[in-house]
Amino acid sequence: MAENKRDYYEVLGLQKGASDDEIKKAYRHMAKKYHPDMNPNNPEAEVKFKEANEAYAVLSDPEKKARYDQYGFAGVDPNAGGFGGFGDFGGGFGGFEDISDIFSSFFGGGGSSRRNGPVRGEDIGVRISLSFEEAVFGCKKEVAYNRIQKCSDCGGTGAEKGSSVETCSVCGGTGQVRVQQRTPLGMMQTTRTCDSCGGSGKHIKNPCSGCKGKGYVKISKKLDVTIPAGIDDGQRIILRGEGNEGRNGGSAGDLAIAVSVRRHSLFERDGDNVYCEVPITFVEASLGAEIDVPMLDGSSQKYEIPEGTQTGTSFTLKGKGIQNVNSRRKGDLIFTVVVEVPKNLSREQKDILRSFEKSCGNTNNVKKDSFFKNWFNKDK
């Protein structure tokens, strides 16, 4: 049968020579992902769960791992002879006597009692796109998503109205049966899914026509969600209990709404602060002026820039930024002036500027004068 098996390292997603910690971590991930409790009515998940158990039983044991690394499956096959045996993997759980040992070791609880115990519903994630203004000032958005909940026809029992659900006589409603196996180490007791009820612990003679006996259905749901002012790109809104409904009395999961904010044509955001560029004329920069600065709400505010303002100079308007999403505090609006150099000048305008430049001499261009002096004298 070895030729039909996948390599144990491949099963756990590892490379040959993986450390004990890597093996344990990989097995823990696989056991959580494919455990029958988390994958009801999924035969493929059960197969992968058993594969992971079998792989871990070998790779977690130094002696068996060494034989497997050297001889492959023949080194750990009890029917191959010459290497010793350690029992049948069919119902085993990776070196643990019982599935509850796995949960006690890894997850802090017994597995056999959890199968029909309360199971929390899965969380659901959706993404919404907001304009810059919607994120800054807040808004209401309709969110549509699919949710799993109890069938309204049968109330989650899975049985047609008027019919009852019977407890499985084989497992007594636990969904699991204990079996004993003879191994070279003696009799071993293991726990496996009940074949009679498929692990549900019950039998439904007349399945509900609405949910086909599953007890749960997928529905489309819409919610009006309030988006708080100040929310930023990449942040999430969590709506408790709006995810998939739980099973066996378990609580519902959450709805996680991931926010994506579109870029603005003028403003850029950094936390609660906002940045923008404001063009000014050469004359305004030279003489100083009262200019209009754009605000987030579409209005403008007057601001007096001083005489001799250089292009790239930044000014701060305190408290004119974005409201913090968790408080009433607001960030700042920082604007940078960009001096616009005039183009397409007339001959008369050019003559005026040449005359102006000549009249300035070196006193009005200190930076330019010192720059070239330093450059030409740097090697002297």
The residue extents of the domains of the chain are 2-114, 124-155+215-261, 268-343, 350-380
Predicted TM-score of the model (pTM)? 0.59
Q: How buried is 313 (Cβ within 10 angstroms: 0-12 exposed, 13-18 middle, 19+ buried)?
A: middle
User: In sequence order, what are the beta bridge partners of 68?
Assistant: none
Contact between 321 and 274 (Cβ < 8 Å): yes
The answer to whether the 2-114 and 124-155+215-261 domains have the same CATH topology is: no
DSSP 65: H
- The percent of residues in the chain predicted with pLDDT above 70, rounded, is 80
pLDDT digits (tens, 9 = 90+) for 257-294: 999 999 999 999 999 999 999 999 999 999 999 999 99
Contact between 304 and 288 (Cβ < 8 Å): yes
CATH class, 2-114 region: mainly alpha
| Comparison of pLDDT for 53 and 281, the residue scoring more | 281
Of the candidate CATH numbers 2.60.260.20, 3.90.1150.10, 3.30.565.10, 2.60.40.10, the domain formed by 268-343 belongs to 2.60.260.20
Contact between 301 and 318 (Cβ < 8 Å): no
* 3-class state of residue 225 by DSSP: strand
In this structure, what is the dihedral angle of CA atoms 259, 260, 261, 263, given to the nearest 10 degrees? 170
> Does 107 score more than 50 pLDDT?
no
Residue 364: per-residue pLDDT: 67
Residue 183: per-residue pLDDT: 64
Check: CATH 3.40.50.300 for 124-155+215-261?
A: no
**Helix-helix angle 43-59:20-34, to 10 degrees:** 160
> Does 90 score more than 60 pLDDT?
no
Residue 373: per-residue pLDDT: 64
Three-class SS of 72-127: HHHHCCCCCCCCCCCCCCCCCECCECCHHHHHHHHHCCCCCCCCCCCECCCCEEEE
